[in-house]
Structure 1
Amino acid sequence: MSDTEEEIRDFPMSRTCPMAPPPAYTELRDGPPRRVRLPDGTLPWILTRHADVREAMGDPRMSMDESDPLMPHRLLVPRIPRLFSFIRMDEPEHGRLRRMVTSEFTARSVRELRPWIQQIIDQLIDDLEALPQPVDLAAEFAIPLPCLVIARIFGVPDEDIAQLKEQTTIGLSQDVTPEQAIGAQIGMSEYLDQLAVRKAAEGTDDDLIGRLCADFVAAGKLTHEDLVGMVRLVLVAGHETSANQLGLSILSLLQHPGQLAEIKADPALIRPAVEEMLRFWAISQDNIVRVAADDMELGGVHIAKGDPVVLAIPAANHDETVFPDAARFDIHRAQASQHLTFGHGAHYCLGATLATTEMEMALTTLFDRLPGLRLAVPEEDLSFRDTSLVYGLNRLPVTW
């Protein structure tokens, strides 16, 4: 059946259960890619099957160039050249800029960070224990942990983190006015611009901004504007996704005490458990987009040069052909690591190792130190960030 003979669904699609992707994805996975309608009237193809999404992520003909006017645009802020740095660029510029920060996020570099990540976790839990109960675990633990980690890597002062977090939340929301989104974007850009100027003047290299200034800006390999864009990208990506994923992951273990008990009895299970959490929640719900740079066949349809494309990660991560009984949370799922939450190919998430390390350490320590941790409200009273491009909890009230 052609798109002219069937209803074109609106995107983004609504969830009917906060613990599951939109049910429309189940129907869409049963056939070849179809068109959907974005709020601005654009009619991109939507990919919902795991094989199709994975193939698109690995195909260089699927462009991520934000400067292409045909690229779907999901944010409320206007298109600004190079605003999202290398994440919205194609080769060779994507690789040139990405390589400037890659060494900071290798498995070896992250291992070296573990002692002070553990210190941050321990301090946050110390602070938790001093608060009156119930406590909002999202606000007091899941959000500040990745914020503190990524901010300290870059050299952002602790006292400025809350401001940047607020600006990020507003910028990714679909439930604010364009003026609010633009104001948040301008505020973050101005702050990072001033911070980079100060770091360059200080001439130190004991944090990532300082090293970028010394190694690349001073050498004429990186403009000041591209430095600000790169820092903004990695700061936002490094805390917003991890904070929401951590909150949802804590919820998963609170909902499945039997599986939590297994992890406590065998700490090695935390690694596959984290892979399942990443698969199950698939928090990048509405903003994984591409534009075809050439004619191509994908998923049984012809996608023409210039056609916009949406990659539905939650749909791919719940594809029953890859993840049988996908709606069930199971830390023993053998296929969990095949999830596409971190992407695939050249644009695979730069901070994947850091994110999984934070989660493994945070979850292990939290449930060891607070063995009586439990929800302080009925599950049906929890509220979720349905209108954000990154899915998550608004609050996670707990007691112990």
Structure 2
Amino acid sequence: MDYPFPRHPGFDPPAPFAGLRDTDPACPVSLRHGQRSHLLTRYADVRAVLRDHERFGSDPGTPGFPQLRPVVDRKAAPGSFLVTDPPEHTRYRRMLTGEFTVRRMAALEPHVERITRDRLTALRTGPRPADLVTGFALPVPSDVICLLLGVPVADQEFFSTRSRAHLNRALAAEQVQAALDELHAYLADLVRTRRAEPRDDLVSRLVTDPTLTDEEAVGMTVLLLVGGHETTANSIALSVLALLRDRTRWDALVADPRLVDNAVEELLRYLSPVHQGVVRAVRADTEVADRRLGPGDGVIASLFAANRDPAQFPDPDHLDLRRRRAKRHLAFGTGVHQCIGHLLARLEMRVALRALVTDLPDLRLAVPFEDVEFTFDAPIYGLRALPVTW
């Protein structure tokens, strides 16, 4: 069985997930580079593996590490905390933890609201129909991450195109590497500039640490820049489409915007934007879903399948904006590698959806749902465009 499974337009995971969850929850699969790995589809197994960094490693240099990208990762790049294990991972995360605390997000919220308001005003005063992706969903988190990192907003198009190419698993390895090289060069220049002339931004605070090399600072900034806007931008656009597909859900938020907070958690569970899963290399003999695994084996923990597991979420294929315990979803992962920016992503989604249902209550699709083009060729899926009017 080849993995990733093909996707079809819509929000539901590929059909094989449900059957595998019942019959073979640690199913052997074949990957693009000829590797074999094991696909995990049950919530309990996915959660347990992601929380066990002793037996399941994140470093691509570990034998058995599943390679899903066009570019084969032979080792963790400096600063790439997403694919490092403790203690190096702990060192990197410690440098960033203070940037994404509850207190920091509370201080940032007025800025997120201002950015959202400005982008929504531009959308409302522009032509109709409008593309919600390019006019709102993408620029809001892009503006926010630019503000945090100290990246000029004028350079958004540059880093947005490179980051999308970096994530595009349909491109040739040479194209992906070229985009990544250009992004690294841009951020290396930013790091050098901030070392010489520090400002009140995250990169300036990072480079004050004398133990952090320029290479490590660039690697960390790449992850923050790419992850800081791609996932949230796609989540906002997908959420609006899911709400507008059944008008009763959109109208429920218009009638009571206080429902937005729980709706965001349920949308994250239901949509699971990181749809191809999180990979780990087995580092010690263990057992997962009655299958014996050992060093040299790899696993793919499907967040999508876990978030649609009926053992954890009753009637999981139903989008229930009032679902109790929706926040137990694994859309941001879990354990030491849980997405460091999850509080920021949640804040941006809440502010964006609340602004839309409050200021554009008559928002509606400008094309039939069947004509909306999904993009599935990246680890984070989304929409190519979302034509709307009001």
Instruction: Give your verdict on TM over 0.5.
Output: yes
Distance, in Å, in 1 between the alignment partners of 2:272 and 2:73 is: 26
1:22 aligned to 2:14?
yes
Distance, in Å, in 1 between the alignment partners of 2:247 and 2:176 is: 39
Match of 1:271 in 2: 261
Match of 1:226 in 2: 216
Match of 1:33 in 2: 26
1:99 aligned to 2:124?
no
Distance, in Å, in 2 between the alignment partners of 1:144 and 1:262 is: 26
The one of 19, 25, 36 equivalent to 1:43 is 36
Distance, in Å, in 2 between the alignment partners of 1:325 and 1:213 is: 48
Amino acid in the other structure paired with 2:214: H
Cα offsets for 1:334-375 (capped at 9, x unmatched) = 131111111111111111111001000110111211121100
Is contact 2:253–2:357 with CA below 8 Å preserved after alignment?
A: no
Aligned-pair Cα RMSD in Å: 1.3
TM-score for both structures, normalised by structure 2:
0.96
2:299 alignment partner, SS class: strand
Is contact 1:241–1:283 with CA below 8 Å preserved after alignment?
A: yes
Distance, in Å, in 1 between the alignment partners of 2:302 and 2:379 is: 12
Q: Which moved more, 1:368-377 or 1:73-82?
A: 73-82
Match of 1:3 in 2: none
The one of 115, 121, 128 equivalent to 1:126 is 121
Distance, in Å, in 2 between the alignment partners of 1:80 and 1:364 is: 43
Match of 1:199 in 2: 194
Q: State the 1:321 CA deviation.
A: 1.2
Match of 1:180 in 2: 175
The one of 45, 48, 62 equivalent to 1:55 is 48
Cα offsets for 1:54-105 (capped at 9, x unmatched) = 0101112110012225311222234264336111011111111111011110
Match of 1:312 in 2: 302
Q: Which moved more, 1:58-67 or 1:183-192?
A: 58-67
Cα offsets for 1:26-81 (capped at 9, x unmatched) = 11000341100111111101100111100101112110012225311222234264
Cα gap change, 1:17 to 1:136, in 2 (>3 Å): closer
Distance, in Å, in 2 between the alignment partners of 1:67 and 1:252 is: 39
Is contact 1:295–1:302 with CA below 8 Å preserved after alignment?
A: yes
1:355 aligned to 2:349?
no
The gaps in structure 2 that reach 5 residues or longer are none
Shift >4 Å, 4+ stretches: none
Q: Which moved more, 1:229-238 or 1:260-269?
A: 260-269
Q: Which moved more, 1:257-266 or 1:45-54?
A: 257-266
* TM alignment of 1:137-216, pairs within 5 A: 137-202=132-197, 204-214=198-208, 216=209
2:229 alignment partner, SS class: helix
Is contact 1:74–1:287 with CA below 8 Å preserved after alignment?
A: no
TM-score for both structures, normalised by structure 1:
0.94
Is contact 1:82–1:226 with CA below 8 Å preserved after alignment?
A: no
Amino acid in the other structure paired with 1:112: A
Distance, in Å, in 2 between the alignment partners of 1:282 and 1:98 is: 24
1:30 alignment partner, SS class: helix
Q: State the 1:287 CA deviation.
A: 4.6
Is contact 1:35–1:46 with CA below 8 Å preserved after alignment?
A: yes
The gaps in structure 1 that reach 5 residues or longer are 1-8
* TM alignment of 1:289-308, pairs within 5 A: 289-308=279-298
Match of 1:256 in 2: 246
Aligned residues between the structures: 387
